Amino acid sequence: MFEGFTEEVVATDAARIFVRHAGSGPPVLLLHGHPRTSATWHRVAPLLVASGFTVVCPDLRGYGRSTGPDPVDDHSVHSKRAVADDMVAVMSRLGRDRFVVMGHDRGSYVAFRLAMDHPDLVRALGVFDGVPLTHHLDRGGTRFALHWWHWFFYAQPGVPERVINADPDAWYRGDPSVMGEENHAEWRTATRDPNVVRAMLEDYRAGVTIDADRERADRAAKRRLDVPVLSLWSLRDDLEELVGDPREVWREWADEVSGHGIDSGHHMAEEAPDAVARAIIAFLR
């Protein structure tokens, strides 16, 4: 995987972030979702580099080979703001003071927060299989809770760690023939690590508490994005079924929103990398 990419660890104020990067053109920061690592981009990233972009693929705080602080009661050290600040430090270390950020699944929430908190740094935003947290939490109702029950299970104190760590291979399932052997092996190593599992759960605990409160405050203050937004979603997953057209949701937060569905299951970067890369390249041209 990632032939020609450099691997390094960047120390931030409170974390150590493992990152892969390559290329010499305009920078694109790609953020993975749960329960993946940066390796989920192993088929998309080389296509973007070949098209003239610099591509940066980090493991989010506590995921994969990145480490972070122990959890705190208000979950702030695993909040999207804290993780977004890690990404700012990574890009600064790489000498990039303005860049595109794109995230899938949980990574889309980090990308959104980064664009909201650091509008001077973000040139464009990509959100894949994601809409703002508060759209789900405040409008989703029982239907959302039944479909995405794991959000509320993961947010419980203590219990999900015991359940998942009892047999992580049974809980987290992945097919190496779909994911790619090396990606699968890296992901499986991560999901077997109790510290990674705890950090991934803290991501969800922050999501339904401090992250959601910050989004609500942004909405009340009528804060909006002033960058173009690319929304992609998996046609063989259930986001569109739950929220309707995700582009319309994002238009509540931004004026310039484009995108389309991708013919894949949830992990679109692994299942439909050519389509994802084409969409990103067309958006950024």
Q: Give the three-state DSSP class for 231.
A: strand
Q: The domain that contains 216 carries what CATH number? A: 3.40.50.1820
Active site residues: 105, 266
User: Is-contact 238 266, C-beta < 8 A?
Assistant: no
Quick one: average pLDDT of 48-72? 98
Residues 34 and 154: their CA atoms lie apart, in Å, by 12
pLDDT in the model for residue 87: 98
- CA–chain centroid gap for 232, Å, is 13
Residues 72 and 285: their CA atoms lie apart, in Å, by 42
pLDDT, tens digit (0-9, with 9 covering 90-100), for 95-150: 999 999 999 999 999 999 999 999 999 999 999 999 999 999 999 999 999 999 99
pLDDT in the model for residue 230: 98
Residues 80 and 61: their CA atoms lie apart, in Å, by 10
Q: Is there a domain that residue 159 lies in?
A: yes
pLDDT in the model for residue 78: 98
pLDDT in the model for residue 197: 98
Quick one: average pLDDT of 199-225? 98
pLDDT in the model for residue 47: 98
Our count of domains for the chain comes to: 1
Q: Is there a domain that residue 169 lies in?
A: yes
pLDDT, tens digit (0-9, with 9 covering 90-100), for 149-173: 999 999 999 999 999 999 999 999 9
Q: How confident is the model at residue 4 (pLDDT cuts 50, 70, 90)?
A: very high
DSSP run (H or E) holding 216: helix 212-220
Residues 34 and 200: their CA atoms lie apart, in Å, by 7
Q: Is there a domain that residue 44 lies in?
A: yes
Residues 111 and 233: their CA atoms lie apart, in Å, by 15
Mean pLDDT computed over every residue of the chain:
98
Reported in sequence order, the residue ranges of the chain that DSSP labels E, i.e. its strands, are: 6-11, 16-22, 27-31, 54-58, 99-104, 122-128, 229-234, 257-262
Q: Is there a domain that residue 1 lies in?
A: no
Quick one: average pLDDT of 40-52? 98
Question: Pairing state of beta strands 6-11 and 99-104?
Answer: unpaired
**Which residues have a Cβ under 8 Å from the Cβ of 108 and sit 6 or more positions away?**
31, 33, 126, 127, 128, 129, 130
- Amino acid identity, residue 203? D
Q: Is there a domain that residue 264 lies in?
A: yes
Q: Is there a domain that residue 52 lies in?
A: yes
pTM: 0.98
Quick one: average pLDDT of 172-185? 97
Question: Could you tell me the sign of the dihedral formed by the alpha carbons of 192, 69, 76, 248, in that order?
Answer: negative
Full domain range(s) for residue 27: 6-284
Q: Is there a domain that residue 147 lies in?
A: yes
pLDDT in the model for residue 142: 96
Q: Is there a domain that residue 120 lies in?
A: yes
